[in-house]
Amino acid sequence: MTAAVIMPQLGETVAEGKIIAWFKSVGDKVAVGDRLFEVETDKVTVEVEATEAGTLSDIRIGKDVTAKVGTVVAVLDGGAAAAPKPAAVFAPKPAAPTMSAYEEVRTATGSFGKAKAAGDVRVSPLARRLIVQNGLDIVIVAQTALNENVRRIDQREVSRLMQQSKSSALTVLEPAQEARAVALAGGEIVTLNTIRQRTGDRLAENWRTIPHVFQAIEADFTAVEAARADMKARFKAEQGVSLTYLPFIARAVCLALDAFPQVNARLDGKALNLSRDVNLGIAVDLNHNGLVVPVIKNAGDLTTLGLAKAIARMVDKARAGKLGADDLSGGTYSISNNGAFGTLLTAPIINAPQVAILSVDAIRKRATVVETADGDFIAPRLTGIVGQSFDHRAFDGAYSAAFLSNLKSIIETRDWVQELSSGRTS
Amino acid sequence: MQDTIKNGSLANDDIGLETRLELYRLQVEIRDCEKRAYDLFLQNLVKGTSHLSLGQEAIAAGFAAAMGPKDKSFCTYRGHAHTLARGVPMEKVLGELMLRDNGLMRGKGGSMHLTSAEHNVLGSYAIVGAHLCIACGSAWRAQYQGHDDVTVCFFGDGTTNIGAFHEALNFAVIWKLPVVFVCENNLYMEYTPIDDVTAVPHPAADRASAYGLPRILIDGNDADEVMRTARAAYKLAREGGGPSLIECLTYRHSGHSRADPGKYRPPGELEKWLERDPLKTYRARMAEFGISPDAVAAIETESKRKVDEATVNCKAAPPASEHLLTADVYADGGWAWRN
Amino acid sequence: MAELSYRDAVIRGIAQEMRRDKDVVLIGEDIGKAGGVFKATVGLYEEFGPLRVRDTPISEQAILGAAMGAAMTGMKPIAELMFSDFAAVCFDFIANEIPKQRYMTNGQLGCPLVIRTGNGGGVRFGAQHSQSIENWTMMIPGLKVVAPSSPIDIIGLMAAAVRDPDPVIFHEHKALYATKGEVPDGEIVDVLGKAKIVRPGKDCTIVALALMVHRALGAAEILARDHGIDAEVIDVRSLVPLDTHCILGSIVKTGRLFTVEENPRLCGWGAEIVSIAADEVFWDLDGPMVRITTPHIPLPAADNLEDMAIPSVARIVDRVAKVMNGSRA
């Protein structure tokens, strides 16, 4: 066993020392307490004693040489070293703050354009948010204000300006692309079934007429998983079906739609009809034989557990072929859940007259960068990509992005355990 | 109470064999553990600062041995000795000095704040003088709730010049509190000789009369004398006789803290006091009373074994747990100042 | 129901707790036989005796230190600092010892004590006996801080403070001792960390504390009557823990924030609230957030000068009205 002799810490602010004398030479026997060397710092001169016994086998920092505190100055051979006892394991207190102790605040999310875009007109933060969320163009709004000699825009001004200039708020469309026919050379012919034929026409029409923009955001599902893991055995026992991620996502969607009502709307010519209720369409795959999107009415009134039950009922009905017309109509927003096969992203097609549709793909452990006070580390985190295809005629990318950001925030920070523990369905 | 310094005397054996071995054990273990703390500081394993009690072991041992488990003790940032003397394991003390997870406060407090509620070590305090007032509170509680535990409060000669000392002494006397104030006069206030900064020659003993208390000045390096004095003071307190102020003369072998190898001392002073090293004195005392050298050696061997075992465990212990950063600011275990 | 003065509410609050738990005791200067220099502890000595209501020498460090030692070992002391300005005399205990005990000992020891103190100005005592120091106490980690504005809150928050296992600084306002309010019969126990909307409104949020709550309410009446501004007034009551839900919820509703603070300008408690609002509800702000405070000066003794310094109803009305209408001052 060898033991390192290090340049000692000789004062709280001392960083280095100069060895001014060695009292032992290489080959000398050293006992505990023997003087080894004398070191000089800018504050003191001290003789350093040996804390281990052995034979001095190497002197690395010689007389009149300076070294930093902690440097190995010599090596001792042959001291006995006891095997270290394994460290006692202390279970840390579970840390479950809802707010980071480093921030101690829940910083507002969302980004609503540059204040400077309004030029000489002063626009309050609230007004800027309302301008974006109502699909207005701040440049146009500011210009309108200037024309009327209004130099400050607050919420009241925005309301007033909106009354006046509704028609100029919407952007101009690009003409839709014609779908191209693809020829197949040889191979088997699979006739499309009725469901596929009907839905196929509609899908094509939607694709042609709606300017789709797809945006995605990565969400961390750790908090969801914690609540789900807790509850799933009981849920399965009581309901006979599994508790998946989908009800959590649906719940988060309902909450986010509350803050971003334009996403929960129907486009009707030149007007956006905001719906008070969330009628949530859930895309259900019929064993690769087609897709149906049954609608859960008033989904906003249901809790996560309530949604889980409602979704399970709808899926059963769908697979049994028992969906009625009422089940398939009145939707205001849809979710397409594609994660079962491990896909990363899906850009779904919007169900007109809805203006957006959410896609959720595989939720699994991914290598993620975690920032800590000690530096950045790669850690496995349960994440999933949540995407939204939206109708660019109804609102802009900023609004959609803000919605997704809000959705992510809900997924990641909502107290799911508390909500599930209440046991309520609505 | 004597009012002159006594050297070790063979007057009587009111102490007894068992207690003598205990007193020696406490002093040796404090000495060995403090020396190890010094070594670990040089190896940069003990971080921050560390105030050692080398040379002052008899005071900690004597007062602690005379205490019962329910008695409460308070001390300054030079508190390793007082913490060890009340039975706190070496591993917990060294672990805290090394700021590891196995430390007495899991690294939250550090060397200057050693506290063990379990052992009624109600803290080591870094702001000079504060704990004298706090000790009054502990004694007040005993008096109010009708308990017979005594509160013992240790501090240095420098403390006698700060305001809180005077407030606490006056307060303890007028409310007749069961608190024993122990001044460890090691002749230096940090780096300055105490004489240079104090209006009276004996910083605590010469002020006792200002508070209507008897003057008690003893040889702090004789564990027997310390113990006799402690017993008498505790008895007085428990019987409702009020506080005591005891000045113990002693000497610090090392500097004020690790930053200071003590080169401000006049030549010869350290050597003179090393002759009166409490351990040296007590070894001679035990021999006088016929205690076998084997029993003495067994204590020394066991002490070294304990120190080595603690050192190994502490070196292997993980650093302070990150979960504790924001823990225990408030009684609910958390830090939240808002909803 | 009965009408009770603020000072009698202090007596009733302390008595309520002392009757409930014999480990609750009261110490301070002249609080026993003399009933307190503000007569806020009259009758307690007679009811509870000299061991539970104990007069001390003029020794602020010993008073707080003893309270701390007693609290650490099993009692529930209420210690008085006669004037809140004296916190500076024993600041070691308020800043270094009491609030850090639990953290440094890794949860082994705590300090379940209450420090009640006569805070605030408007009583012509001069610069060293008139300060509002609630912000000094708000900024120290480990303390809880309350400042009631009414008799019913005095009783309820005193009960909450005594029952709280953490150290609580209880700021009574000297100029409010003579004011009266309705108080129900029976035991009253409130909760720390909850603000109160004392006047609902929709145009702006005015957040105030202690004496300033009364002035803000007076200003709100005039703002409604003469300026058509419907102000929502919030009594913060508890600086730590802070009821951010209530305050931020109100700002989201009205879009406008004003604070009325008796402490001097720099680092006043309102600055922290404005900062949290700027961070969390930025996109709900419809105009600048404005603090109305005592200027950053020592307080004068002269009555006319002191009244100019501490925010008055007129100054509050003036500032709110001007800022709401878009001008600077």
Q: Which residues of chain A lie closer than 8 angstroms to C255, CB-CB?
A: 124, 126, 154-155
* pLDDT over 90 (residue A329): no
Q: Express as a percent the part of chain A with pLDDT over 70.
A: 84
* pLDDT over 60 (residue A175): no
The confidence band for A178, taking pLDDT boundaries of 50, 70 and 90, is very low
Nearest residue in chain B measured CA to CA from A71: B43
Q: Which helix (H) or strand (E) holds C320?
A: helix C313-324
Instruction: Please give the pLDDT value at position A421.
Output: 84
* Contact call for residues C195 and C243 (beta carbons, < 8 A): yes
3-state secondary structure of C280: helix
Encoded tokens for C32: 């026993």
Question: How far is the alpha carbon of A111 from chain B, nearest alpha carbon, in Å?
Answer: 25
| pLDDT digits 0-9 by tens, C239-276 | 999 999 999 999 999 999 999 999 999 999 999 999 99
CATH number at residue A279: 3.30.559.10
Q: What are phi and psi of B73, to 5 degrees?
A: -125, 145
Interface mutation target, options A104, A105, A159, A399, chain C, most CBs of C under 10 Å: A105
Instruction: Please give the pLDDT value at position B246.
Output: 98
Q: What is the mean pLDDT of residues B237-241?
A: 98
| pLDDT digits 0-9 by tens, B203-212 | 999 999 999 9
Mean pLDDT of chain A: 81
Please report, in angstroms and rounded to a whole number, the separation of the first and last CA atoms in chain B: 59
Instruction: Please give the pLDDT value at position A162.
Output: 75
Closest CA to A254 of A238, A287, A277: A277
**CA C210/CA C175 separation, integer angstroms:** 10
* pLDDT over 90 (residue A47): no
Residue A255 lies in a domain: yes
Instruction: Please give the pLDDT value at position A278.
Output: 93
| pLDDT digits 0-9 by tens, B153-168 | 999 999 999 999 999 9
Instruction: Please give the pLDDT value at position A188.
Output: 60
Q: Choose the final residue of a domain: A106, A135, A169.
A: A169
Interface mutation target, options C64, C86, C104, C162, chain B, most CBs of B under 10 Å: C104
Residue A84 lies in a domain: no
Mean pLDDT of chain B: 92
Q: Which residues of chain B lie closer than 8 angstroms to C164, CB-CB?
A: 331
> Are residue A277 and residue A151 in the same domain, yes or no?
no
Look up tokens 């001014």; give the residue. Answer: A20
Catalytic residue among A154, A277, A285, A392: A392
| Domain carrying residue A288 | 194-421
| pLDDT digits 0-9 by tens, B258-315 | 566 667 778 888 888 888 999 999 999 999 999 999 999 999 999 999 999 999 999 9
Interface mutation target, options B92, B97, B106, B326, chain A, most CBs of A under 10 Å: B326
Q: Choose the final residue of a domain: A153, A169, A185.
A: A169
**CA B204/CA B198 separation, integer angstroms:** 10
State whether residue B134 sits within 8 Å of chain C by CB. yes
* pLDDT over 90 (residue A97): no
Instruction: Please give the pLDDT value at position C211.
Output: 98
Angle at C192 between CA C135 and CA C164, to 5 degrees: 105
Catalytic residue among A137, A220, A391, A396: A396
| pLDDT digits 0-9 by tens, A147-172 | 888 888 999 888 887 777 654 443 33
CATH superfamily label, C2-183: Thiamin diphosphate (ThDP)-binding fold, Pyr/PP domains (3.40.50.970)
Instruction: Please give the pLDDT value at position A271.
Output: 83
Partner-chain contact B313 A44, CB within 8 Å? no
Question: How far is the alpha carbon of C193 from chain B, nearest alpha carbon, in Å?
Answer: 7
Residue A280 lies in a domain: yes
Beta strands in C35-154 (DSSP E): 53-55, 76-83, 114-119, 144-146
Q: Which residues of chain C lie closer than 8 angstroms to B101, CB-CB?
A: none
Question: How far is the alpha carbon of C205 from chain B, nearest alpha carbon, in Å?
Answer: 19
Q: What is the mean pLDDT of residues A355-369?
A: 94
* pLDDT over 70 (residue A317): yes
Q: Which residues of chain B lie closer than 8 angstroms to A100, CB-CB?
A: none
* pLDDT over 90 (residue A200): no
Interface mutation target, options A90, A103, A104, A124, chain C, most CBs of C under 10 Å: A124
CATH class of the domain defined by C196-324: alpha beta
Beta strands in A64-126 (DSSP E): 65-68, 72-77, 122-123
Q: What are phi and psi of A155, to 5 degrees?
A: -60, -40
Q: What is the mean pLDDT of residues C167-188?
A: 98
**CA B96/CA B109 separation, integer angstroms:** 8
Active site residue C227: no
**CA B103/CA B126 separation, integer angstroms:** 18
Q: β-strand A122-123 against A152-153: which pairing, if any?
A: parallel
Please report, in angstroms and rounded to a whole number, the separation of the first and last CA atoms in chain A: 69
**CA A89/CA B321 separation, integer angstroms:** 11
A32-41 own/partner pairs: CB under 8 Å, 24+ apart = A36/A5, A36/A74, A37/A73, A37/A74, A39/A7, A39/A8, A39/A10, A41/A10, A41/A11, A41/A14, A41/A16, A41/A17
Beta strands in C141-203 (DSSP E): 144-146, 168-173, 180-183, 196-199
State whether residue A186 sits within 8 Å of chain B by CB. no
Partner-chain contact C65 B329, CB within 8 Å? no
| pLDDT digits 0-9 by tens, A407-419 | 999 999 999 998 8
Instruction: Please give the pLDDT value at position A49.
Output: 81
Instruction: Please give the pLDDT value at position B9.
Output: 44
**A319 vs C239, residue with greater confidence:** C239
Encoded tokens for C302: 């002269």
Partner-chain contact B117 C66, CB within 8 Å? no
Instruction: Please give the pLDDT value at position A183.
Output: 38
Considering only CB atoms, A105 lies closest to which of C255, C279, C285, namely C279
State whether residue C295 sits within 8 Å of chain A by CB. no
Active site residue A288: no
Packing angle between helix A246-259 and helix A397-413, nearest 10 degrees?
130
Considering only CB atoms, C285 lies closest to which of A107, A110, A125, namely A125
Question: Residue B211 contacts by C-beta under 8 Å, 6 or more apart in sequence?
Answer: B169, B170, B173, B245
* Contact call for residues C244 and C209 (beta carbons, < 8 A): no
Q: Which residues of chain A lie closer than 8 angstroms to B323, CB-CB?
A: 92-93, 95
Angle at A247 between CA A245 and CA A248, to 5 degrees: 65
> Considering only A195-209, B204-218, C299-313, which range has the smallest mean pLDDT?
A195-209
Residue B275 lies in a domain: yes
Q: Which residues of chain B lie closer than 8 angstroms to C142, CB-CB?
A: 329-330
Q: What is the number of structural domains in chain B?
A: 1
Sequence ranges of the domains in chain C = 2-183, 196-324
The complex's ipTM works out to 0.94
Indicate the residue type of B249: L
Closest CA to A96 of A389, A422, A365, A415: A415
Instruction: Please give the pLDDT value at position C258.
Output: 98
The confidence band for A53, taking pLDDT boundaries of 50, 70 and 90, is confident
Partner-chain contact A95 B43, CB within 8 Å? no
Q: What is the mean pLDDT of residues C119-139?
A: 97
Residue A176 lies in a domain: no
Interface mutation target, options C102, C254, C276, C283, chain A, most CBs of A under 10 Å: C283
Partner-chain contact C102 B331, CB within 8 Å? yes
| pLDDT digits 0-9 by tens, B89-118 | 999 999 999 999 999 999 999 999 999 999
**CA C63/CA C77 separation, integer angstroms:** 10
Q: Which residues of chain A lie closer than 8 angstroms to C280, CB-CB?
A: 105-108
Q: Which of C:77-136 have CB within 8 Å of B? A: 77, 92-93, 96-97, 101-110, 112
B34-42 own/partner pairs: CB under 8 Å, 24+ apart = B34/B80, B34/B81, B36/B94, B36/B307, B36/B310, B36/B311, B37/B80, B37/B94, B37/B97, B38/B254, B38/B258, B39/A51, B40/B94, B40/B97, B40/B98, B40/B311, B41/A9, B41/B258, B42/A8, B42/A9, B42/A10, B42/A48, B42/A51
Instruction: Please give the pLDDT value at position A239.
Output: 83
State whether residue C326 sits within 8 Å of chain A by CB. yes
Closest CA to B324 of B95, B99, B91: B99
The confidence band for B3, taking pLDDT boundaries of 50, 70 and 90, is very low
Instruction: Please give the pLDDT value at position A379.
Output: 92
| Domain carrying residue B119 | 34-316
State whether residue C275 sits within 8 Å of chain B by CB. no
The confidence band for A100, taking pLDDT boundaries of 50, 70 and 90, is low
Partner-chain contact B333 C245, CB within 8 Å? no
Closest CA to A71 of A112, A143, A15: A15
Residue A260 lies in a domain: yes
Instruction: Please give the pLDDT value at position A179.
Output: 32
State whether residue B167 sits within 8 Å of chain C by CB. yes
* pLDDT over 60 (residue B2): no
Beta strands in C67-216 (DSSP E): 76-83, 114-119, 144-146, 168-173, 180-183, 196-199, 204-208
Encoded tokens for C87: 């916190």
Instruction: Please give the pLDDT value at position A184.
Output: 47
Instruction: Please give the pLDDT value at position A172.
Output: 31
Q: What is the mean pLDDT of residues A221-240?
A: 90
Q: What is the mean pLDDT of residues B174-179?
A: 98
Question: Residue C164 contacts by C-beta under 8 Å, 6 or more apart in sequence?
Answer: B331, C112, C144, C192
Q: What is the mean pLDDT of residues B135-144?
A: 98
**A50 vs A109, residue with greater confidence:** A50
Q: Which helix (H) or strand (E) holds B104?
A: none
Q: Before C141, cis peptide (omega within 30)? A: no
Question: How far is the alpha carbon of B231 from chain A, nearest alpha carbon, in Å?
Answer: 38
Encoded tokens for A212: 């789709």
> Considering only B16-25, B58-67, B189-198, which range has the smallest mean pLDDT?
B189-198
Partner-chain contact B334 A97, CB within 8 Å? yes
Q: What is the DSSP string of B203-260?
A: TTGGGGGGGT---EEEETT-HHHHHHHHHHHHHHHHTT---EEEEEE---SS-SSTT-
Q: β-strand A2-6 against C144-146: which pairing, if any?
A: unpaired
The confidence band for B324, taking pLDDT boundaries of 50, 70 and 90, is very high
Residue B5 lies in a domain: no
* 3-state percent helix, strand, coil for chain B, nearest multiple of 5: 45, 10, 40
* Contact call for residues B334 and C141 (beta carbons, < 8 A): no
Considering only CB atoms, C69 lies closest to which of B127, B134, B328, namely B134
Q: Which residues of chain B lie closer than 8 angstroms to A51, CB-CB?
A: 39, 42-43
CATH number at residue B105: 3.40.50.970
Residue B246 lies in a domain: yes
Indicate the residue type of B254: S
Residue B173 lies in a domain: yes
> Are residue A119 and residue A30 in the same domain, yes or no?
no
Residue B279 lies in a domain: yes
Q: What is the mean pLDDT of residues A28-57?
A: 81
**CA C171/CA C246 separation, integer angstroms:** 21
CATH number at residue A54: 2.40.50.100
Angle at B265 between CA B262 and CA B268, to 5 degrees: 120
Q: Which helix (H) or strand (E) holds C211?
A: helix C211-227
Q: Express as a percent the part of chain B with pLDDT over 90.
A: 82
Residue A151 lies in a domain: yes
Partner-chain contact A108 C283, CB within 8 Å? yes
Strand order in the sheet with C231-235: C196-199, C231-235, C204-208, C257-264, C290-294
3-state secondary structure of C155: helix
